[in-house]
Homo-oligomer: A and B are copies of this chain.
Amino acid sequence: MKMTIKDIAKLAGVSTTTVSKVMNGKDESISDATKDRIKKIMKENNYTPSVVARSLVTKRTNTIGLIIPDIRNPFFPELARGAEDMASKAGYTIIFCNADNNLSKEDEYLKVLSEKMVDGIIIAVSSKREDQFEKITETSMPIILVDRDIDIDMKCIKGRVITDNFKGACIGVEHMISNGMEKILFISGPLTNKASFERLEGYKSALENHNIDFDQDLLLEGEFNENWGYEAAAIAIEKNLDFDGVFCGNDLIAIGAIKSFKGKGIRIPQDISIVGFDDIYVSSMIEPELTTIRQPKYEMGYRAVEMLIDILEGKKAEQKRLVLQPDIVIRESVKKK
């Protein structure tokens, strides 16, 4: 049978209060003698306190909920790891949930996490979420939005951690321009998606900075996956579009596009240069290795948890919006000038 605080107290000949105090380091007022005795007994009996009993009284579980679309999406393992690292460093534990971009699953998880009394939640919301977090409003667990931002204002949303998509796209396109490309095709993800939209703005801005007119024909909109990249590249060729560089909405698109181009005998980067977005781990494994805009995925998870914990422990103000800066990872898919 598992030991309880009572057992330890009895063995040490003290009250549970005393044991509780030394256990929690609130032992300024306890004599070294009893302190040591209690510690010794706890160790000998391999005693571990029940955090559920503790939580019942303290109202803190030292547990954080992490809701993401799907851990199999190559974007999220890094983020999850960053979150877990920070959490574990601060003595928290993470419950992880895959909601598949599905609103009702998200709501369901929100409910479960609330029942489990997590201290707070980090969530990469479904792109479909435009409404409020109905079920959760009143319980007021603090929530930090990560990766995906939405334009809703609720008291329970205590912060956001996102990356600067506009800037990232700018950097990527500028990189191609500075290497001599002038006609840059943009194979975009869905433009209803905020991130996509911002990347498009960044793309336009970079062009503008170099006095290149935006050409609507060079914008192809589709999904954030390899198939779309493959298809879009085929369309571009079929339509006989005139371009020397391709900026892709994300790495998956870039990977599909590269495959498509190579299949048609077009060489990367000799004939066409390509830049991706995200820097998922595959990107360095394909051929040519992909030049891409790196999102600080690990850091996003890390910072989000840090922000949450700061709020939980009353160290920081709320409603912060942290915009992380992407950077470019130069590999082999852009022809050097």
Residue A193, interface by CB 8 Å: no
Interface residues on chain A, number (Cβ under 8 Å): 48
A96 with B117, Cβ < 8 A, contacts A46-B135, A281-B282 known:
no
User: In the complex the two chains form, what is the Cα distance from A286 to B51 in whole Å?
Assistant: 47
- What is the minimal beta-carbon distance from A292 to any residue of chain B, in angstroms? 14
Residue A178, interface by CB 8 Å: no
Q: Does the CB pair B116–A51 fall under 8 Å?
A: yes
Residue A19, interface by CB 8 Å: no
Interface string of A77-98 (1 = CB under 8 A from B): 1101100110010000111111
Residues of B contacting A26 in the complex (Cβ-Cβ under 8 angstroms): none
Residue A180, interface by CB 8 Å: no
Residue A71, interface by CB 8 Å: yes
Chain B interface: which of A55-63, A149-157, A239-247? A55-63
User: In the complex the two chains form, what is the Cα distance from A96 to B71 in whole Å?
Assistant: 12
Residue A287, interface by CB 8 Å: yes
User: In the complex the two chains form, what is the Cα distance from A51 to B287 in whole Å?
Assistant: 51
Residue A255, interface by CB 8 Å: yes
Q: Does the CB pair A287–B285 fall under 8 Å?
A: no
Residue with the highest number of chain B CB atoms closer than 10 Å, among A71, A74, A95, A281:
A71
Partner of A117, one of B50, B97, B135, B281: B50
Q: Does the CB pair B139–A112 fall under 8 Å?
A: no
Q: Does the CB pair A50–B115 fall under 8 Å?
A: yes
Residues of B contacting A97 in the complex (Cβ-Cβ under 8 angstroms): 84, 88, 93
User: In the complex the two chains form, what is the Cα distance from A212 to B226 in whole Å?
Assistant: 41
User: In the complex the two chains form, what is the Cα distance from A312 to B108 in whole Å?
Assistant: 24
A94 with B93, Cβ < 8 A, contacts A115-B49, A116-B51, A281-B74 known:
no
Q: Does the CB pair A71–B61 fall under 8 Å?
A: no
A-B residue pairs in contact (CB < 8 Å), sample of 12 = A46-B135, A49-B115, A50-B56, A51-B115, A71-B84, A72-B81, A74-B281, A77-B77, A93-B112, A95-B95, A226-B285, A282-B282
